[in-house]
Structure 1
Amino acid sequence: MDTHAVHLALAAIVGASVVAVSAYYMHRKTLAQLLEFARTVEREADGGGGSDTEPPTAHLKKRLGSSRRRGNGGYRRGSASLPDVTAISGGFDGEEKRNGPVHVDGIPVGLPRLHTLREGKSSQSGSFKRSLLRPTSPKSPVASASAFESVEGSDDEDNMTGEVKLDTTYLHTNGTVVPEGKIPFETLPNHVNANGEQMAITPSMIRSHSVSGDLHGVQPDPIAADILRKEPEHETFTRLRITPLEAPSPDEVEAYVVLQECLEMRKRYVFSEAVAPWDKEVISDPSTPKPNPDPFLYILEGKSDHYFEMRDGVIHVYPDRDAKEELFPVADATTFFTDLHHILRVIAAGNIRTLCHHRLNLLEQKFNLHLMLNADREFLAQKSAPHRDFYNVRKVDTHVHHSACMNQKHLLRFIKSKLRKEPDEVVIFRDGTYLTLEEVFKSLDLTGYDLNVDLLDVHADKSTFHRFDKFNLKYNPCGQSRLREIFLKQDNLIQGRFLGELTKQVFSDLAASKYQMAEYRISIYGRKQSEWDQLASWIVNNDLYSENVVWLIQLPRLYNVYKEMGIVTSFQNMLDNIFIPLFEVTVNPDSHPQLHVFLKQVVGLDLVDDESKPERRPTKHMPTPEQWTNVFNPAFSYYVYYCYANLYTLNKLRESKGMTTIKFRPHSGEAGDIDHLAATFLTAHNIAHGINLKKSPVLQYLYYLAQIGLAMSPLSNNSLFLDYHRNPFPMFFLRGLNVSLSTDDPLQIHLTKEPLVEEYSIAASVSSLSLSLHVI
């Protein structure tokens, strides 16, 4: 036992001796390094930081010596991949500068070495450069309980002390070196950035929440009142320019030429005003426009000498009855279908598909990079905009059907109100008998007490997915078509009085919100020419006018239904019923005075129906509308051409007489074949949906280049054709397509009295879009 204790004691003594000897030699080596470093610092101070004629070996020693950092009592190497935030922000004295560039490694071959900015002569210049490198993010004005939270941009490696100096050179992206003693942006003339673009150097670029040179001191952050008191500043953000390193290949040049030809082809078709709408009216008062005191006032206008006639499905206009040369020629059907087939060949070409796919991905990544660089600055700019936020910026519902413009609770409340207040109103004629509202509900074995939202059954559910027929049945309250006729139709026994009152209530909700507008689509079926006068009379007699609302006319593609019912004999009958009244009122407004007044509020023409129905692709030589007498529905592009051609001629005539024009804005690309989108690319100003553009990179890129508007409705698509998470709206937005959110059918889709805000809020949550991006 005693021998064991002696062995332990000897082992402890030997171990302690070894440790002491090792510590002595390590201390001696460290002390020698410190003394050598101190003598080096003294020599540098005596020599004024070196000269331009010193040998390269001395300069190399300085680079190797200055590439170390001191922290926690030792030396360690600086990061080769991250910028030194502490050094850049001016945290060192001016007389402690490095004389050589920092040696960095870990950079891929072929890229320029990483150089940091030269430290400024004053704290202000240091702050200026720091704000250029890294925009400051907004912080709470409340002081943090943790001292580490007051350090902006600090990390594990920012422990540099006063002895370490900054690099004195700066390398541009073009390879040139800024002379020593100048900040790099002084060499750019007229405030030109590193990409070669002129930029205004505004105070927004030099905002800093910390005082230069004192990173670890808690400084007060700007509060909302300070931001609002600032003078308006020019928008300043980091721009990106992508310059190809080599000339495009012959395949790429060929693809560019073909795409340009497609754009020129579209310009030949689409109607455009001689004077742009935004140039027709000069708004000197920035306040809200004054309301029209009498929107339905009709002023007598004389009849013009124009003469028109329908020929081969298209109306031709002449200066007078005896003229032989038409005023507004339009491309014939053969030319249109030939050009359509050319577009279809282009979108199938492999090299063009590859190029467009690459360009679209580049656009998407470029915008993501823009967000990384400028999101904080955009957030600050958004906070500094007085009296503007998400709730009071004007939002337009660009695609909503009038018969479904209210939510289900609103409709239920209205039905109960009418059943309670007007039970004895005669509302319908069925089976040879006139029925009152109360008798209608008795025939359905319903009372006002029984009604609820679930019994109303107008909301879309899983049964409507890929079932457009079942979705249309949701327009029937309680599954009864007679209730739809009473409450949601304007051509009924009570002349649409209930629908007019319901519409006025929706208008009141829009007026109360003040910042929401809508473009309601209302139907003209083409069964008879008097439909236009009936619709205009309903609008005028019910005084349906709002500063927040305009109208679009939607044409359901139901020729086959009318043919089977014997309402029409050929497709020509539908075209006559749709377009002849419009030309009559344009030539002679006195012939349809109410229609003339109503058309001042009509801004577009739409084509609607189930696009997923199979159809034959049109050939270059199709039968004329007068020859189309079979029971089959014409193809989508057949409808598109004849609606476009007549609307083009009508707009030319109305423009020549100083009247308002009507845009062509059909439903397209919700389902069905890709040639729907090709046809609307040639003819349409805007389209609704367009989700099938994700299947064709060429068409998607053409829609981007032409900036054709897409009124997208992700919630509606989620109930019909496409799951919300697969909807291409976020991708289209990032790539720069001209997209907007719309509601489509609030009655079937939405739950609140502000369906458009509901659409935006869900998109913000699911797609992670900020409110500033929603404003865009």
Structure 2
Amino acid sequence: MAMDPSSTSSLQLAMAALVGASLMAISAFYIHKRAVDQVLDRLVEIRRKLPQKSDTHFEEEEGEEEDGDTEEGDFEEDFGSDGYAIMRQQSQSRLSRSLEDSTLRRYGISSSLPNVSVRNDWLEEDAKFDEAIRVRAQNCSASSLDKLNFIPTGLPSLQTPRRLEEGQSINRSGSGTRLASLGRLPRTPVGNAFESAEDSDEDGTEHANEDDITYSNENGADSKVQSSSALPFRGDGMNYVQDKNYRATINDAKPALDLHDNGKVDKTSRNAVGTETILYSTISQLRTTVHEPTNIEEEEVWKMIQECLDLRKRYVFTEKVAPWMKEAEPETNISEMRSDPFHFVPVEASKHHFRMEDGVVHVYASESDTTELFPVASATEFFTDMHHILRIMSIGNVRTACHHRLRFLEEKFRLHLLVNADGEFLAQKSAPHRDFYNIRKVDTHVHHSACMNQKHLLRFIKSKLRKEPDEVVIFRDGKYMTLKEVFESLDLTGYDLNVDLLDVHADKSTFHRFDKFNLKYNPCGQSRLREIFLKQDNLIQGRFLAELTKQVLLDLEASKYQMAEYRVSIYGRKQSEWDQLASWFINNEIYSENAIWLIQLPRLYNVYKQMGIVKSFQNIIDNVFIPLFEVTIDPSSHPQLHVFLLMVVGFDLVDDESKPERRPTKHMPKPAEWTNEFNPAYSYYTYYFYANLYTLNKLRESKGMPTIKLRPHCGEAGEIDHLAAAFLLCNNISHGINLRKSPVLQYLYYLAQIGLAMSPLSNNSLFLDYHRNPFPMFFQRGLNVSLSSDDPLQIHLTKEALVEEYSVAAKVWKLSSCDLCEIARNSVYQSGFSHMAKSHWLGNKYFIRGPGGNDIHKTNVPNIRIEFRHETWKEEMQYVYLGRAIIPVEIDT
């Protein structure tokens, strides 16, 4: 039967391939054999050319052998007359192997090549040579070994390093000491948490690559150094870790891994971590900074950074007596305040007198006194200092140095996670009753008018339309209208309403359109519905908004562990706004222990000027601050405002920062002279509100009243000088995403630990895509960041907007439980809640820096993380101040 031509062709191709492969294999074998033969011939030649001199180390060994006659005698008794010869044969075999190693090192040949002192059956010539060596060694006596002249002069004495735990070795070169992990690379935090460091390397580990092993010939002694990502622990003057410290760390397994407070270490966690405890103990002591500048230029850079930090200390208001140093209020007063927070306690008026001069209030002890009690830096001084910071920011050397330090901080945090992530995870598991869900977290930036989600607002509107359709709610077009009539004029019914028709949610159309975003505050696109449901100064005196606010506060209290800082608006159009806002709070009994309040001022001078409401910028300053000074000097003049101010903790400036503006010069017009229709620059607003708030706080502090901090919106968009002004004047800021554009300011914000209340989901709808948000970078570098919701009505979908913010961040940026708890802890520190509340939420020593102020049973943040953050910040401060920084024990107030 004829074979198919295609089958024949395939068979021929297969045979040809087989023959070709066989030829290639045979060729490769002979090429390899020839290369090995050449190497072995070279070794034989080297051996024959060795210098004929004795070695000091060999003589020492001979002396030791002579001292050991007794042992040899015992050996002969045990093994007969041939025992001595056998022992000598073994000794010579060891000598030959040592000689081979020394010879290979001498000529720089890798010891990974075949050992010629071992018999190789496939190499006949080498086998014969080795047999001759063996016979010669057997026939030699102990006294004649020095005549063999096998060991060249000058070789170092052989030393066997003591064995460490599996996967570790110590390589010494000079005075340097290096701890390198030879066997493993780090596993995932979860995978390594349940396994000991002494487990086998079969699963989940990677061995060191041969390419990572290098050979050096330092100080005349060859040493093999393992290249790995482990940190070098050098014994020179470049850091503080000495050889004795390293030995103490290895020998003492002291509890540096403080999983809980009071110095206690959980045994289960310690056993599970294994050698990670030792690594953490060593790395936590590592000092990677040098305080001496390497050159004059670098010294000048750090002096300029010091100047910036010192300028901030001159401006920012801090309380003379920290809250934790004040006498505790009696329990009776606290219980009375909780039972009736709206009760007015009469306070005697003081004799202080104040006058408005050049846009800033000046306070005097009496009307006849001419000495200002609380002087504040002038506008010219401020703008001069701000321009000085802007000049420093533009210097190339400063930008480079700050960029390098920020990169270093980021990489240092990643290294910390590689070494200590398992320890943090186990510490959190060991803390009873605490996890992310039941630790306190504060929404540090949320606007009151948008504090509810869209579904909540829809249900409320439908409820009112069904229950109170005949309620007169607005005066429009010369007549009063009921709620039902308003909806009829809009051609709407309760049945027609849905969240899409409500149209309050931000979408693609709002990106880079702040004007469209503001229109989302109008339900169904109608400003009259906003006036009815989301305003407190309307015909019904804000009753609907008060009821809606109470429902939100009840949801907040039901969660127990969520707090919020709501912003309510004062516009500066008239002085009576303060009394109106205070009466709304008092009359509607708006209060919750889970919420505190900030005042926000929209920067809308140009709008009010065009409408003829104000004549100059001075009018806005008068309308905002004169009532505050009046109620501070004499609380009975505005009793409701006095009670309301006890719940106010901050002052905010809001509006679109992306609007173009002129950068202020050193000599700007006074507020009374600002009569044009252009809106003043951001820094102009900020200074005059800072200066008056600074004076007000000094006055309130002198009278024992709570103070108000400046915490404006800043750095969401616009020019970088907004952030420079805020650096000098503000306690905390909201947003701050533009810090990514200035490494100098970013580094300054890190060193000063200025709080950033960031809202990535809000930024995603307005100015910056979520994946480009710098929040994870800021967090890794150690900036004081927290998460906030900003506008739940426009941004979020659930009634727990803050948890939604955390959950999205955790999934997108792969934040661990420890990361989330640290961010939540930051939010409590940034917030304006009372000292008593923070003590309950964070621990009685929360005001102490570092792990001493952390209580894992309250915060669920391991001391490992807190110590890393604190020590890193201290090292950076010492680096900037060239080792002369004064680190306070307590946090800033």
| TM-score normalised according to structure 2 size | 0.67
Kindly state the Cα deviation for residue 349 of structure 1 after the two structures are TM-superposed: 1.1
Q: Distance in 2 between matches of 1:695 and 1:151?
A: 43
Find out whether 1:577 has 2:577 as its counterpart.
Answer: no
Which of the numbers 286, 302, 305 marks the counterpart of 1:259? 305
Q: Distance in 2 between matches of 1:352 and 1:593?
A: 52
Change (3 A) 1:281 1:738: farther
Find out whether 1:772 has 2:832 as its counterpart.
Answer: no
Runs of at least 4 residues off by over 6 Å: 44-51, 61-70, 109-117, 133-136, 140-143, 147-152, 167-172, 281-285, 288-291
Secondary structure, counterpart of 1:292 in structure 2: helix
Change (3 A) 1:169 1:559: closer
Kindly state the Cα deviation for residue 111 of structure 1 after the two structures are TM-superposed: 12
Q: Distance in 2 between matches of 1:281 and 1:571?
A: 41
Q: Unpaired segments of 5 or more residues in structure 2?
A: 1-25, 38-82, 122-162, 211-222, 260-266, 273-277, 823-893
Equivalent runs, 1:94-133 vs 2, <5 Å:
none
Q: Distance in 2 between matches of 1:432 and 1:772?
A: 60
Q: Show the counterpart of 1:534.
A: 580
Kindly state the Cα deviation for residue 322 of structure 1 after the two structures are TM-superposed: 1.0
Change (3 A) 1:349 1:150: closer
Which of the numbers 366, 378, 390 marks the counterpart of 1:320? 366
Q: Show the counterpart of 1:173.
A: 233
Find out whether 1:595 has 2:648 as its counterpart.
Answer: no
Q: Is the 8 A contact 1:398 1:711 kept in 2?
A: yes
Change (3 A) 1:737 1:115: closer
Structure 1 counterpart of 2:484, which letter? E
Q: Distance in 2 between matches of 1:173 and 1:44?
A: 42
Q: Is the 8 A contact 1:307 1:318 kept in 2?
A: yes
Equivalent runs, 1:437-476 vs 2, <5 Å:
437-476=483-522
Structure 1 counterpart of 2:763, which letter? N
Q: Is the 8 A contact 1:618 1:635 kept in 2?
A: yes
Equivalent runs, 1:509-528 vs 2, <5 Å:
509-528=555-574
Change (3 A) 1:114 1:529: closer
Kindly state the Cα deviation for residue 587 of structure 1 after the two structures are TM-superposed: 0.2
Secondary structure, counterpart of 1:391 in structure 2: helix
* Equivalenced residues, count: 664
Structure 1 counterpart of 2:288, which letter? I
Q: Distance in 1 between matches of 2:398 and 2:409?
A: 16
Q: Is the 8 A contact 1:205 1:236 kept in 2?
A: no
Q: Show the counterpart of 1:188.
A: 245
Q: Is the 8 A contact 1:44 1:50 kept in 2?
A: no
Q: Is the 8 A contact 1:689 1:712 kept in 2?
A: yes
Structure 1 counterpart of 2:783, which letter? L
Q: Is the 8 A contact 2:187 2:204 kept in 1?
A: no
Which of the numbers 632, 640, 650 marks the counterpart of 1:604? 650
Q: Show the counterpart of 2:20.
A: none
List per-residue Cα deviations over 1:261-286 (Å, max 9, x = no partner).
1111111111000022344377999x
Q: Show the counterpart of 2:420.
A: 374
Equivalent runs, 1:162-311 vs 2, <5 Å:
173-174=233-234, 187-188=244-245, 191=248, 201-202=254-255, 238-239=283-284, 240-244=286-290, 247-280=293-326, 292-311=338-357
Q: Show the counterpart of 1:626.
A: 672
Which of the numbers 650, 655, 667 marks the counterpart of 2:701? 655
Q: Is the 8 A contact 1:135 1:377 kept in 2?
A: no
Which of the numbers 388, 410, 429 marks the counterpart of 2:434? 388
Which of the numbers 93, 102, 106 marks the counterpart of 1:60? 102
Q: Show the counterpart of 2:779.
A: 733
Q: Is the 8 A contact 2:764 2:770 kept in 1?
A: yes
Kindly state the Cα deviation for residue 522 of structure 1 after the two structures are TM-superposed: 0.5
Q: Distance in 2 between matches of 1:722 and 1:277?
A: 38
Which of the numbers 530, 545, 570 marks the counterpart of 1:499? 545
Secondary structure, counterpart of 1:396 in structure 2: strand
Q: Show the counterpart of 2:806.
A: 760
Q: Distance in 1 between matches of 2:248 and 2:451?
A: 52
Which of the numbers 519, 532, 536 marks the counterpart of 1:486? 532
Secondary structure, counterpart of 2:734 in structure 1: strand
Q: Distance in 1 between matches of 2:405 and 2:546?
A: 49
Q: Show the counterpart of 1:672.
A: 718
Structure 1 counterpart of 2:421, which letter? A
Kindly state the Cα deviation for residue 60 of structure 1 after the two structures are TM-superposed: 3.3
List per-residue Cα deviations over 1:216-261 (Å, max 9, x = no partner).
xxxxxx999x99xxxxx9x968424213498422111111111101
Structure 1 counterpart of 2:255, which letter? T
Q: Distance in 2 between matches of 1:372 and 1:629?
A: 59
Secondary structure, counterpart of 1:759 in structure 2: helix
Q: Distance in 1 between matches of 2:167 and 2:661?
A: 72
Structure 1 counterpart of 2:472, which letter? V
Q: Show the counterpart of 1:687.
A: 733
Q: Distance in 2 between matches of 1:237 and 1:388?
A: 29
Find out whether 1:743 has 2:800 as its counterpart.
Answer: no
Q: Distance in 1 between matches of 2:249 and 2:330?
A: 34
Change (3 A) 1:44 1:524: farther
Q: Is the 8 A contact 1:316 1:326 kept in 2?
A: yes
Q: Is the 8 A contact 2:472 2:480 kept in 1?
A: yes
Q: Is the 8 A contact 1:552 1:606 kept in 2?
A: yes
- Greater fraction of residues in helix: 2
Q: Distance in 1 between matches of 2:602 and 2:709?
A: 17
Find out whether 1:404 has 2:450 as its counterpart.
Answer: yes
After superposing the two structures, state which structure 1 stretch, 349-358 or 650-659, moved more: 349-358
Secondary structure, counterpart of 1:766 in structure 2: helix
Q: Distance in 2 between matches of 1:137 and 1:720?
A: 36
Change (3 A) 1:508 1:619: same
Secondary structure, counterpart of 2:437 in structure 1: coil
List per-residue Cα deviations over 1:110-148 (Å, max 9, x = no partner).
99797779xxxxxxxxxxx999x97996559999xxx98
Q: Show the counterpart of 1:557.
A: 603
Structure 2 counterpart of 1:465, which letter? F
Q: Distance in 2 between matches of 1:478 and 1:549?
A: 29
Q: Is the 8 A contact 1:88 1:116 kept in 2?
A: no
Change (3 A) 1:252 1:141: closer
Q: Is the 8 A contact 1:138 1:380 kept in 2?
A: no
Q: Distance in 2 between matches of 1:193 and 1:223?
A: 20
Q: Show the counterpart of 2:687.
A: 641
List per-residue Cα deviations over 1:32-62 (Å, max 9, x = no partner).
xxxxxxx9xx8699879999xx997477389
Secondary structure, counterpart of 1:188 in structure 2: helix
Structure 2 counterpart of 1:262, which letter? C
List per-residue Cα deviations over 1:491-550 (Å, max 9, x = no partner).
001110110010011101110111111000010000110100110111111111111101
Kindly state the Cα deviation for residue 377 of structure 1 after the two structures are TM-superposed: 1.2
After superposing the two structures, state which structure 1 stretch, 548-557 or 288-297, moved more: 288-297
Q: Show the counterpart of 1:230.
A: none
Kindly state the Cα deviation for residue 431 of structure 1 after the two structures are TM-superposed: 1.2
Change (3 A) 1:169 1:623: closer
After superposing the two structures, state which structure 1 stretch, 364-373 or 455-464, moved more: 364-373
Kindly state the Cα deviation for residue 340 of structure 1 after the two structures are TM-superposed: 1.3
* Higher alpha-carbon Rg: 2
Q: Is the 8 A contact 1:191 1:201 kept in 2?
A: no
List per-residue Cα deviations over 1:294-333 (Å, max 9, x = no partner).
2111111110010001111100000111111010000111
Change (3 A) 1:756 1:347: same
Structure 1 counterpart of 2:613, which letter? I
List per-residue Cα deviations over 1:651-691 (Å, max 9, x = no partner).
00000000000000111111111111111111000111111
CA RMSD of aligned residues (A): 4.6
Q: Distance in 1 between matches of 2:749 and 2:299?
A: 20
Find out whether 1:416 has 2:462 as its counterpart.
Answer: yes
